[in-house]
Amino acid sequence: MTDIAEIPVDEQERPLPPPPRPVRSALIDGPILRTLLGLAWPNVVALSAGTCVVIAETSYIGRLGVEALAAMALVFPTVILTMTMSGGAMGGAVASAIARALGAGDRERAGTLAAHALLIGITFGLVFMLGMLIFGPQVLTMLGGRGNVLTHAIAYTQVFFGGAVLPWLLNTMAGVLRGTGNMKLPSLLILNSAVWQIVLGGTLGLGLGPFPQLGMRGVAAGALIAYSMNICVMGWYLFSGRARVVPKLRGLRIRWAMFFDILKVGAIACFSPLQSVLTISIFTHMLAKFGTAILAGYGIGARLEFLLTSIAFSFGIASVPMIGMAVGAGRIGRARRIAWIAGASAFVAVGAPACLVALFPDLWVNIFTDSATVRATSHQYLSTVAPFYAFFGLATTMYFSSQGAAIVIGPVLAQTARLIYIATCGWWLSTHDAAAQNFFWLAANSMVVLGLLSCSSVVLTRWGPRETKPAVRPLLSVVD
């Protein structure tokens, strides 16, 4: 006899309407490109404002002299390491862990993960503070700092890294919110931070109005004050219950599994900015022998790379909660489609303006300097390297997409390959009296290598849990 499904009826035996479909998140079910762009645009606006900070800092530091400008290029790798490791590597890992918990429908776990993430951020900030206060001068000397250039660089380092906990705490909180899909508030606060950083850094650095001229120390102090203001706002929002996830600090019991869920991605991911900064440091050291003007010109060109990488960062960090929630919900095919759409979008968004600046470098260089030698070096660097920035943008999104899937080892190994490539070829060029132009071509080639290897790692890496075959049980068993 065949079972017939019963049709639900009301008290008068009239058929009831079909139950409403469960409401799902747009991050899991929405159209990929439209959702990605909706998450990315606030980051683009905010990080573009952050780039305005870089432009403004370089502009008013240039008023302090060429030596101060060279000092900023010297200290730039260590500052970028702090910001990319706290915001990109560990911040992305925090967003990934929370997104995967929410994708699996476990909000309680997401709140506990957020509390453990704050502890991780504070700990890493203290490590950076102590490390740079103790070993900072030696590091800057190894990078090629000498004389007044080294003095300016140490002054900036002492103030900025004296408050290194602040950027770590700020970026950890932003990672928590981004893991929930909230991109607008972190972006709004980054925009606010950018405005205050420009105002305070310029005022204290140049000594505007009633304030004394503090030079590089004043520029660093302006950044820390701006970070502190935004930590207060973001902390209030998180702990007031307005966020989708509230960090559970009251009665918190340390659970190593929570640390592991974040660090299994974050600890590995931290090697990527570390290797990236080490690559920049090696490259800076190799160019330092050509003199202060060449180093300053390279620093101006490298700031465009930082600007355009922030665009790729916007697409990459937007893909993290989308991929994390898709993986948490078991939708691996959708997660991979998100990764490739994000990569293609970043390739175009980075490549188009980079090629424009390569053709017309004065659009960028004239902002920073009137020195003919520095301008010539910047023109040379941008015309050679800028057309290949698109590959760097592609690699950035592959890195973040892998964070969302909680398997980031591939893009990190791609960074390792780039580091080895730069170090080996750079050593060979140094021993053969190569010109600065040869080192610029090396930088361009290394970006292509990084982009292609990062894409290959995503293709070859399995996302999601491994399929397991069910155990085969015998139909009959023999009992002794």
What the block records as the tokens of 101 is 């918990």
Q: How far apart are CA 213 and CA 194, in angstroms?
A: 21
What the block records as the tokens of 435 is 């010109």
Angstrom CA distances, 203 to 114, 198, 207, stand at 36, 8, 5
Which residues, 6+ apart, have CB-to-CB distance to 77 below 8 Å? 143, 277, 280, 281, 284
Do residues 382 and 364 make contact, with C-beta atoms less than 8 angstroms apart?
yes
Exposure of 462 by Cβ count < 10 A (0-12 exposed, 13-18 middle, 19+ buried)?
A: exposed
Q: What's the pLDDT score for residue 23?
A: 43
DSSP count for the chain of H helices, then E strands: 18, 0
> Smallest Cα–Cα separation from 312: which of 278, 284, 352?
352
The distance in angstroms from the start CA to the end CA of the chain is 41
Q: How far apart are CA 112 and CA 201, in angstroms?
A: 37
Angstrom CA distances, 330 to 35, 325, 444, stand at 19, 9, 39
Q: How far apart are CA 328 and CA 24, in angstroms?
A: 13
Rg (C-alpha) for the chain, rounded Å, is: 25
Residue 9 main-chain phi, psi, to 5 deg: -130, 165
Q: What's the pLDDT score for residue 16?
A: 56
Q: In a structure prediction context, what are the per-residue pLDDT tens digits for the chain, which is 480 residues long? A: 445 545 555 555 556 565 544 445 677 777 888 999 988 888 887 777 776 777 777 777 877 877 888 888 788 778 888 888 898 889 999 999 999 998 888 889 999 999 999 999 999 999 999 999 999 888 888 877 788 888 888 999 999 999 999 999 999 999 999 998 888 898 888 888 888 888 898 899 888 888 888 888 898 999 999 999 999 999 999 998 888 898 988 877 888 999 999 999 999 998 888 888 788 778 878 887 787 778 777 877 777 887 788 788 889 989 999 999 998 888 899 999 999 999 999 999 999 999 998 899 888 887 777 777 788 888 888 888 999 999 999 999 999 999 999 999 999 999 999 999 999 999 999 888 888 889 889 989 999 999 999 999 999 998 866 554 444 444 444 443
Helix (H, G, I), strand (E, B) or coil at 23: coil
CA dihedral 441, 442, 446, 448 (to 10 degrees): 20
Q: What's the pLDDT score for residue 338?
A: 95
CA dihedral 25, 30, 34, 36 (to 10 degrees): 50
Which stretches of 212-261 are assigned E, i.e. beta strand?
Answer: none
DSSP lists the bridge partners of residue 9 as 15
DSSP secondary-structure letter at 464? S
Helix (H, G, I), strand (E, B) or coil at 329: coil
Predicted model pTM: 0.77
Q: What's the pLDDT score for residue 130?
A: 95
Which residues, 6+ apart, have CB-to-CB distance to 47 below 8 Å? 187, 190, 310, 311, 313, 314
Which residues, 6+ apart, have CB-to-CB distance to 206 below 8 Å? 60, 63, 64, 213, 218
